[in-house]
Structure 1
Amino acid sequence: MKKNYIKYTTVFLLGMGVFASCKKSFLQVNPKGEFAASNYYQTPDQAFAGLAAAYDPLTTETGGLDGTYTDVLGPLNSASDDCYAGGGGPNDTNDWQLWNNYQLNSAAGPQQGFWPINFLGVSRANTILAEVGGVPGLSDDLKKRYTAEAQFLRAHYYFDLERLFKNVPLILKPLAQADIYNQLQAKPADVYAQIEADLTAAIPNLPATVVASEQGRVTQGAAIALLGKVYLYEKKWAQAATEFAIVNGTPGGTTPVYGYHLVANFGSIFSPNNKFNSEAIFEITRTATQAYTWNNWNTFKGNVYVQMVGPRNFGDATYAGGWGFNPVTKLLHDALKGDPRYGYTVLDMDSLVAVEKSSYQASYQNTGYFLLKYAPLTKYKATQGQVELNYPNDYIEIRLADTYLMEAEALVMGSGGSARAQALLDAVRARVGLASVPVSMTTIKNERRLELATEGHRWFDLVRWGDAPTVLSFKGFQAGKNELLPIPLTDLSATKLVQNPGYAN
């Protein structure tokens, strides 16, 4: 496995409790056991450690309210038409079940994880931005780079908050105790303007590439791609296309400066043996080397999601067992059947056990179809610690095929560029041996579904396209309500925050 400097530093920080997360509310800014920032940022090493802590909410799967499991893939796949929640029963990992059935409320649902973990990230990024300029002995170049990374991270956390909640406070500096309960929700346009400003400021001061020991840190390409994605969600088509073109380069070729190009073998994109491959623009690292046990809840750096999606009570030479979450829907199975990506995306478990004359335990909402991109493979089982908690599979949050299709969408929805949009769509399809189809929003939507299935994008796509009420009606999606998550009840008490429409306090 390639070494990533972020993962080891954040584990150390969490162990010493300097930047311990606040599990009750993002508004509780000084949990017991933390050191005051004014007393901490006194050396370059401490500045580096603080920056690593700002990355940590991206990499910790279990940091929400009361230890809520906050991995992005499980809840988002449960809410989409790609998967069901699954698991051991209708109350197993209840937040996933509630979003799967669109029965969530202000007191229960995935917001219990997403809201605090993202505001924790905002808080830590704000601290770095406030303190890094005054750290003795830190070079000007490192101050610029750390500042740029913190700006990217704050933008990333706020982008997720906007997409999930829309109506959020805009907090740009560490809060004084007297101010923490007086925060008002900002206009979404103002939050998006700040996201754009942070990314625009960050881009010139981020490295174009990083050395192996720094993999996992933000690069210039990641910031440009995220800015393009932000513009796309704002329907700023021309600006989105401009940013994506920088990271995409010539469709099917290698991007100048950044070196991105499509991986020839689609199935190898997701392999732990192929981390930080040429298609990965922003990759979130997991590791199997920490030997975590159940005593390390809220600090796992292995990929627990991999264990969750495996078939229950099963194991052979290829596939390890799991807990039966996120069974693939027949809708996705049928959409992918016959596509070259099917065999890298969907595991037909019933056919496998029929051939092997073996068996597995059907999970709740079992369809017989399981995820393959994050499947628990026997060869990657940890040899130390609690095996289930230590899978090494990374999560590629932004990859080149994704940005190809987003640029194609921006061009089709904008004022021109149909030839380039066609070339981008064709490149994604050609990589898996598929012929060209005429570019349109219909074909782009279909390609995004097949190319990016189970990677956590589908729910966001359906919502932003306005397709969710129709596509997700079989799960109970209500238009005008379920496009957003409710604000957690704990953060409405004694504050000036107002609940999102459709959810009672």
Structure 2
Amino acid sequence: MKKILIIGIVACFLLSCKKDFIDLQPISDMNAGTFYKTEQDMNQAVMSPYASLRNLYNQPLIYVGEIRSDNTTFSWVPGNSKDMTSIDNFGDVLLSDNANVLNVWNNSYNTILRSNIVLDKIDPVPFKDENLKAQYKAEARFLRALMYFYLVRVFGDVPKVEHELTVQEAYAIGRTPTEEIYNFIVEDLQFAEANLPASYAAVDKGRVTVGGAKGLLAKVYMTMAGYPLKKGASHYALAEAKALEVINMSQYSLVPDYKALFDVTKENSSESLFEIQYKKGGTSTGSPWNNDFAPRFSNREVVLVGDKSGFNAPTPNMSAAYETGDPRKSISMSDGYVSTANDQFINEKYVKKYYDVSFSGSDNDNNWIELRLADIYLLYAEALVRQNKQQEVALSYLNKIRERARNSTGGSSDVLPDYAPFASDAELLLAIEKERRVELAFENHRWFDLVRTERAKEVMVAEQQEQNAFNPASWSDNMLLFPIPLQVIQSNPEKINQNPGY
């Protein structure tokens, strides 16, 4: 399926020193102050925050969404990199000068800046169709909301930046309370929902739709219902209603074959609500994952072209989470490979979900699926159960996921039978958690699921004991958040304070 390659003007949001606490203008070959004059200019400006997503999804979000969880680990690190191992191993000290944590912060705010530029510049620009102007605003507000959704889950209280700032304004902004950030996210997504189209022509495939806004809003409500805000029943009801709206949209359906979801020739499928768009070809717009996830010392057994970085390797616990015969396992990961040098099996797990043949180096065509219908099915089922209602409906959506899995490539009718009714809601919730883990493995959901359901302590203490039996980590609830980057605090110490425990 054809996809738009989203490339925009260059912008930056650097918090690395006091002088440049917040850059006020995008850096560009053209004069940014006089550029935004036409519909075409604004369309290019809207492409800019889309383009900046690639830097964030290339690696930083995988560290905080997967490697932080019990799903994946590093099979190889360069030297003795504490920046990597301290995210993975709770027994190591996660320092505030961690470069990977800083990358999450900087790249997220970079996209927020680009989105704010659109929103600040667009009103004076004449449009033939005011609906198109509203759509551009909606796209920018969706992307801003997506970034704040990651920031608030990773760091807790974060600065709320609604427009381009003067230097004086920048130094006046401190950390905004978590609940206020969530309310800001909801406002942005409600505007996006009201002003985005249901679909686009092929030339614009990849831009966010109303389904993407509804899907993200459902996910935000589910998170607000759980930890740390604990809004409970009211927000589980909101999540249920919004998820059902997505489910009832005719353009979305589960792809019949699970493997096809990750086929680079079938991207932006009927199951996809929103994808980050990548395109290989030596233009710095390709994705690195097939190469990054390959075992470091493999040859051509795993990837045919380019680098092998050996990170984001599935844990033994992740491997064991799949039921016997579940075709999703062989599609998503491997327990090792056969060496061409000596015909020996190398017991080194790696992710297979994002396979492509690189153009060169680490330059692949894989999109990153940020939101898809299976995720919404499982959120809907969970929302129902957490309200103590319609267990049979929740069970039916859980079984739809299993049915698709057993009918996928490599499956058979005698694997993944439908779940029978559970004796308690607690048992059903654990089944939903398990299905979310194996269905959405390596897609940046696991850590955030564990935090919002308050299962992180139990799950991660057990996993760390299993992996580090001689040096298990002692748990602290401070570990549910990451440290505010040291450079950010140094840039504005009067307003930006550190999270507890760091």
TM bracket, shorter-chain basis = 0.7 to 0.9
Shift of 1:267: 1.3
1:95 Cα deviation from its structure 2 partner? 3.2
Alpha-carbon distance, 1:318 to partner: 6.6
User: CA separation in 1, counterparts of 2:474 and 2:241?
Assistant: 34
* 2:358 maps to 1:373: no
Residue aligned with 2:334, SS: strand
Residues 454 and 24 of structure 1, relative CA distance in 2, 3 Å threshold: same
Secondary structure (helix, strand or coil) at the match of 2:369 reads: strand
Pair 33,272 (structure 1): closer, same or farther in 2 beyond 3 Å? closer
1:303 paired residue number = 287
CA–CA distance in structure 2, aligned partners of residues 32 and 232 of structure 1 = 35
Match status 1:130 vs 2:120: yes
The answer on 1:329 being equivalent to 2:315 is yes
Q: Answer yes or no: is 1:85 the counterpart of 2:74.
A: yes
1:493 is aligned, of 490, 493, 500, to: 490
Shift of 1:359: 5.8
In the alignment, which residue of structure 1 is the partner of 2:328?
341
Equivalent pair of 1:329/1:369 in contact (CA under 8 Å):
yes
| Residue 455 (structure 1) aligned with residue 454 (structure 2) | no
Distance in 2 (CA, whole Å) between partners of 1:477 and 1:273 is: 46
Q: Which of 456, 460, 471 is the matching residue for 1:472?
A: 460
1:109 Cα offset (Å)? 4.7
1:34-49 correspondence runs (5 A): 34=28, 37-49=32-44
Counterpart-to-counterpart distance in 2, 1:110 and 1:76: 12
Given that 1:70 and 1:114 are in contact with CA atoms closer than 8 Å, whether structure 2 keeps it comes out as no
Aligned-partner Cα distance in 2 for 1:76–1:200: 25
Deviates more, 1:127-136 or 1:399-408: 127-136
The answer to whether structure 1 residue 205 and structure 2 residue 195 are counterparts is yes
Residues 1:141 and 2:124 aligned together: no
Determine if contact 2:13/2:113 at 8 Å carries over to the other structure: no
User: Is 1:262 matched with 2:257?
Assistant: no
Cα distance in structure 2, aligned partners of 1:132 and 1:341: 45
- Distance in 1, Cα, partners of 2:446 & 2:170: 35
How far off its partner does 1:156 sit?
0.8
- Distance in 2 (CA, whole Å) between partners of 1:494 and 1:275 is 41
Distance 2:431 2:79 in 1: 36
Q: How does 1:75-474 map to 2 (within 5 A)?
A: 75-89=64-78, 91-92=80-81, 94-102=82-90, 103-137=93-127, 139-235=129-225, 236-249=235-248, 255-256=249-250, 259-289=251-281, 291-292=282-283, 300-316=284-300, 319-320=303-304, 322-338=308-324, 339-350=326-337, 352-353=338-339, 357-358=342-343, 368-375=348-355, 377=356, 380-382=357-359, 387-433=360-406, 434-437=416-419, 438=421, 440-473=428-461, 474=463
Deviation at 1:316, TM superposition (A): 4.0
1:28 aligns with 2:22: yes
CA distance in 2, matches of 1:477, 1:428: 36
8 Å CA contact 2:296, 2:308 repeated in 1: yes
Distance 2:443 2:490 in 1: 34
Q: Secondary structure at the match of 2:122?
A: helix
**Mapped partners of 2:170, 2:70: distance in 1:** 38
Seen in structure 2, the aligned counterparts of structure 1 residues 247 and 31 have a Cα distance that, compared at 3 Å, is closer
The alignment covers a number of residue pairs equal to 459
Identity level (%): 30
> 1:30: how far off?
3.1
CA contact (8 A) 1:311 1:324 kept: yes
Distance of aligned partners of 1:450 and 1:330 in 2 relative to their CA distance in 1, 3 Å threshold:
same
The alpha carbon displacement at 1:37 in A equals 4.8
Give 1:493 deviation, angstroms.
1.6
The one-letter amino acid paired with 1:158 is Y
Taking a change above 3 Å as real, the CA distance of residues 311 and 397 of structure 1, as seen in their structure-2 partners, is same
Q: What displacement does 1:2 show?
A: 2.4
State the secondary structure of the residue aligned to 2:172. coil
Report the CA distance shift for 1:493/1:31 in structure 2 as closer, same or farther (over 3 A).
farther
In terms of mean alpha carbon deviation, does 72-81 or 438-447 score higher? 72-81
Describe the superposition over 1:375-396 as per-residue Cα deviations: whole angstroms up to 9, x where unpaired.
4x4xx231xxxx1221111110
Q: Which amino acid aligns with 2:343?
A: S
Letter in 1 for 2:376: T
Counterpart of 1:492 in 2: which secondary structure? helix
Aligned to 1:66: none
> In the superposition, relative to structure 1, how do residues 318 and 487 fare at CA in structure 2: closer, same or farther (>3 Å)?
closer
How far, CA to CA, are the matches of 2:162 and 2:259 in structure 1?
A: 41
The CA deviation string for residues 109-141 of structure 1, in whole angstroms up to 9 with x for no partner, is: 532111111111112212211211111345312
How many Å separate the matches in 2 of 1:195 and 1:37? 27
* 8 A contact 2:15–2:491 mirrored in 1: no
Query: Contact (CA 8 Å) 1:87, 1:326: kept in 2 or not?
Result: no
- Point out where structure 1 has 5 or more consecutive residues left out of the alignment: 63-68, 250-254, 293-299
Deviation at 1:168, TM superposition (A): 0.6
Supply the distance in 1 between the matched residues of 2:129 and 2:301 (Cα, whole angstroms).
52
CA contact (8 A) 2:12 2:23 kept: no
TM-score (norm 1): 0.85
Q: Deviations over 1:247-291 (max 9, x none)?
A: 113xxxxx42xx1111111111111111111111111111112x1
Indicate conservation of the 8 Å contact 2:36/2:42, yes or no: yes
SS in 2 for 1:396: strand
Residue 20 of structure 1: how far off its partner (Å):
4.3
Q: Give the partner amino acid of 1:443.
A: A
Deviation of the 1:481 alpha carbon: 1.0
Do the aligned residues in 1 keep the contact of 2:197 with 2:210 (CA within 8 Å)? yes
Distance in 1 of aligned mates of 2:22 and 2:161: 13
Rounded to whole Å, the distance in 2 between the matches of 1:370 and 1:264 is 25
Q: TM-score, normalised by structure 2?
A: 0.85
